[in-house]
């Protein structure tokens, strides 16, 4: 049973117990008082009516009865014979006293009386109940005040020691309260902040205010974009700001304009987190660049072969043209050879240009409207010869109706490049596979472009399925893989608000499904 319930039962029983005790004391008091009174009557009779004169005793006792204390009297002589009897009602004799003459008992007087126990009990119960109620509510008030003080101290301790800033403003923006954690974050004392007229926001202040005003008109809570403030020392800090509107007529933060609505703000200093995010982004970009350089190293032989073929064509035709007079080559042949040299040079230019694009820093490269199909084709320029050299057949099933979308061209090309290199390495690890196939399919719906990449390079074990997108996870031998390829690909898709999922059957192959939102221009 809860303590409060026990206390309630105690306060209910208390008036009853006190009333019963009072009635018992009252009864004893009345009994003693009446006994003393009756003894005085007996003494009077003993002194003045010793001969037990019936008429005198009758008149005397009748007079006494009219006082209302007793209901009647019974007087007996020394032989216990009834000498006088006058009762309205009697069940049991309540009191008796001896009548003495010359120190000898010559008779006895008996009587009965009524004590109004119920009436006294009711009066006592009402009084004690009222007194108990007053005491109860007084003690309850003291107890609630004690609990309120403890609760206030507890929550004040929590609020004042939490790292986040808690602030309360009126709906019109007047600052009513701010926790002491604001001092550490801003460098200003609480009293300075309460009376500070200028705002701390130093960048995009108008944008933040417009966003807040827009939210508060239609919402009861919200979160503002991260913004920067300037501390008292001039330091710039990043802030994450959430708010909650409280509509209550009895709130304790009544402002001067008597506005009853208040807004509770939770402000968090995310400067360290922001810096860590910036460092992480830089590290991610560096990882992408390193992975691209590693890929260029992997396909160096293929690049050399790609350049050697057109270079051979240029060299051969140039030697022929240099002896055109000696060999008596016709003008038409010269034109044909010149065109062949031009085509070969264009091919070399394309390869070299792609190497330059593939190897450049893309961390600040903006999104561009581009075709996913074109990205896939571009990613094969540096890989075709190498894939053919490993007897890997690649098939493209590209939907030509797919719309262009805003993407980071170079990063997406890196993503496809990583998938292809990953398949090549898997095929190399399974030399028993005779028919090595990669199939890339594209299609689109109203919202997104779906790229399906499928190979038969042996698949991934169920144990490794949950780890393949983790940085530095690799199943290759030491020195033969960084474990960054699929992790970088996953990050690139995430930057585009897209997804990458994998299904794999060990001993068969893997299927990667990539989704990229249409017309999703991300910053």
Question: Are the C-beta atoms of 15 and 129 separated by less than 8 Å?
Answer: yes
Count of C-beta atoms within a 10 Å radius of residue 186: 25
Residue 150 falls inside a structural domain? no
Count of C-beta atoms within a 10 Å radius of residue 168: 19
Q: Which of 352, 415, 332, 433 is closest to 379 using CA atoms?
A: 415
My answer on whether 178 and 322 are in the same domain is no
Cα distance between residue 348 and residue 364, in whole Å: 28
My answer on whether 363 and 438 are in the same domain is yes
Question: Are the C-beta atoms of 263 and 243 separated by less than 8 Å?
Answer: yes
My answer on whether 171 and 243 are in the same domain is yes
State the CATH number of the domain containing residue 194: 3.30.450.20
Cα distance between residue 312 and residue 128, in whole Å: 119
My answer on whether 24 and 109 are in the same domain is yes
What pLDDT score was predicted for residue 511?
95
Contacts of 94-98 spanning 24+ positions with Cβ under 8 A: 94/31, 94/34, 95/31, 95/34, 95/35, 95/38, 96/38, 97/35, 97/38, 97/39, 97/41, 97/42, 98/42
Element (H, E) at 495: helix 485-495
State the CATH number of the domain containing residue 472: 3.30.565.10
What pLDDT score was predicted for residue 317?
72
Cα distance between residue 483 and residue 476, in whole Å: 8
Question: Are the C-beta atoms of 250 and 262 separated by less than 8 Å?
Answer: no
- Residue 48: domain span: 3-118
Question: Are the C-beta atoms of 281 and 259 separated by less than 8 Å?
Answer: no
What pLDDT score was predicted for residue 523?
46
Residue 446 falls inside a structural domain? yes
SS3 content of the chain, % helix, strand, coil (to 5): 50, 25, 30
Residue 125 falls inside a structural domain? no
Q: How many domains does the chain have?
A: 3
Domain boundary among 226, 247, 269: 269
Cα distance between residue 198 and residue 361, in whole Å: 42
Domain boundary among 269, 302, 323: 269
| Model pTM score | 0.44
Q: Which of 59, 63, 54, 55 is closest to 107 using CA atoms?
A: 54
What pLDDT score was predicted for residue 385?
72
Residue 132 falls inside a structural domain? no
Q: Which residue, chain included where needed, has tokens 């399919």?
A: 441
Q: Which residues make Cβ contacts (< 8 Å) with residue 493, sequence separation at least 6?
A: 415, 499, 500, 514, 515, 516
Residue 482 falls inside a structural domain? yes
My answer on whether 374 and 254 are in the same domain is no
Residue 274 falls inside a structural domain? no
What pLDDT score was predicted for residue 478?
46
DSSP state of 458: -
* Buried b or exposed e, range 456-470, using 16+ CB within 10 angstroms: bbbbbeeeeeeebbe
My answer on whether 426 and 407 are in the same domain is yes
My answer on whether 56 and 198 are in the same domain is no
My answer on whether 260 and 334 are in the same domain is no
Domain boundary among 118, 138, 172: 118
Cα distance between residue 298 and residue 302, in whole Å: 9
Per-residue pLDDT of the chain (523 residues; tens, 9 = 90+): 566 677 777 777 777 788 788 878 877 887 888 788 777 777 777 766 556 666 677 767 776 666 666 666 677 766 666 665 665 554 555 778 887 767 777 777 777 776 666 777 788 788 888 888 888 888 888 888 888 888 878 877 777 777 888 888 887 778 888 888 888 888 888 888 887 665 666 666 777 777 877 787 777 787 777 888 888 888 888 888 888 888 765 555 555 455 567 888 888 888 888 888 778 777 767 766 666 555 555 555 556 656 666 777 777 777 777 777 777 777 787 787 787 787 778 777 766 765 665 555 555 567 889 999 999 998 887 777 778 878 999 999 999 999 999 998 888 888 898 899 889 888 988 889 989 999 999 999 989 999 999 999 999 888 888 788 776 667 665 445 556 678 888 888 988 999 999 999 998 999 999 999 997 555 4
Phi, psi of 139 (to 5 degrees): -65, -35
Per-residue CA distances from 213 to 60, 71, 78, 173, 208 (Å): 99, 89, 108, 10, 9
Q: Which of 149, 267, 147 is closest to 199 using CA atoms?
A: 267
State CA 10 to chain mean position distance. 42
What is the chain's Cα-based Rg? 53
Residue 52 falls inside a structural domain? yes
Overall size of the chain counted in residues: 523
My answer on whether 460 and 328 are in the same domain is yes
Cα distance between residue 301 and residue 387, in whole Å: 11
My answer on whether 263 and 285 are in the same domain is no
My answer on whether 325 and 244 are in the same domain is no
My answer on whether 330 and 386 are in the same domain is yes
Residue 31 falls inside a structural domain? yes
């Amino acid at each position: 049973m809860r303590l409060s319930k026990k206390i309630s039962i105690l306060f209910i029983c208390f008036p009853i117990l006190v009333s019963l005790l009072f009635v018992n004391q009252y009864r004893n008091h009345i009994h003693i008082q009446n006994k003393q009174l009756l003894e005085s009557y007996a003494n009077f009779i003993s002194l003045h009516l010793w001969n037990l004169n019936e008429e005198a005793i009758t008149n005397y006792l009748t007079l006494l009865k009219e006082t209302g204390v007793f209901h009647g009297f019974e007087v007996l002589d020394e032989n216990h014979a009834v000498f006088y009897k006058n009762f309205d009602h009697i069940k049991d004799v309540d009191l008796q006293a001896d009548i003495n003459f010359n120190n000898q008992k010559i008779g006895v007087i008996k009587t009965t009386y009524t004590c109004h126990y119920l009436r006294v009990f009711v009066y006592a119960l009402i009084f004690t109940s009222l007194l108990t109620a007053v005491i109860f509510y007084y003690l309850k008030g003291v107890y609630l005040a004690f609990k309120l003080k403890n609760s206030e101290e507890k929550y004040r301790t929590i609020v004042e020691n939490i790292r986040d800033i808690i602030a309360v403003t009126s709906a019109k923006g007047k600052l009513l309260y701010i926790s002491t954690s604001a001092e550490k974050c801003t460098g200003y004392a609480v009293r300075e902040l309460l009376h500070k007229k200028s705002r701390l926001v130093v960048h995009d202040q108008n944008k933040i205010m417009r966003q807040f005003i827009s939210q508060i008109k239609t919402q009861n809570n919200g979160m503002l974009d991260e913004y920067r403030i300037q501390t008292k020392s001039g330091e710039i800090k990043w802030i994450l700001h959430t708010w909650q509107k409280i509509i209550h007529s009895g709130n304790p933060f009544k402002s001067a304009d008597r506005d009853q609505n208040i807004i509770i703000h939770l402000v968090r200093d995310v400067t360290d987190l922001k810096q860590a995010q910036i460092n992480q982004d830089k590290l991610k970009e560096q990882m992408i660049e390193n992975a691209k350089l590693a890929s260029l190293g992997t396909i160096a032989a293929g690049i050399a072969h790609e350049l050697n073929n057109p270079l051979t064509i240029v060299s051969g035709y140039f030697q022929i043209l240099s002896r055109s007079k000696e060999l008596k080559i016709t003008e038409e042949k010269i034109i044909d050879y010149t065109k062949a040299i031009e085509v070969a040079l264009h091919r070399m230019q394309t390869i070299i240009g792609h190497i330059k694009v593939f190897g450049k820093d893309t961390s600040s490269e903006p999104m561009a409207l581009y075709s996913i199909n074109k990205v896939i084709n571009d990613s094969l320029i540096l890989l075709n010869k190498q894939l053919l050299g490993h007897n890997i057949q690649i098939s493209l099933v590209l939907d030509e109706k797919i719309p262009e979308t805003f993407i980071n061209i170079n990063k997406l090309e890196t993503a496809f490049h990583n998938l292809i290199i990953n398949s090549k390495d898997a095929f190399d690890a399974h030399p028993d596979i005779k028919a090595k196939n990669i199939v890339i399919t594209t299609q689109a719906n109203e919202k997104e472009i779906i790229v399906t990449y499928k190979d038969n390079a042996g698949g991934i074990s169920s144990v490794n399925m949950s780890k393949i997108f983790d940085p530095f996870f690799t199943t290759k031998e030491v020195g033969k893989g960084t474990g960054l390829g699929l992790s970088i690909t996953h990050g690139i898709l995430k930057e585009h608000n897209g997804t990458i999922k994998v299904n794999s059957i060990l001993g068969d192959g893997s299927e990667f499904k990539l989704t990229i939102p249409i017309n999703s221009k991300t910053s």
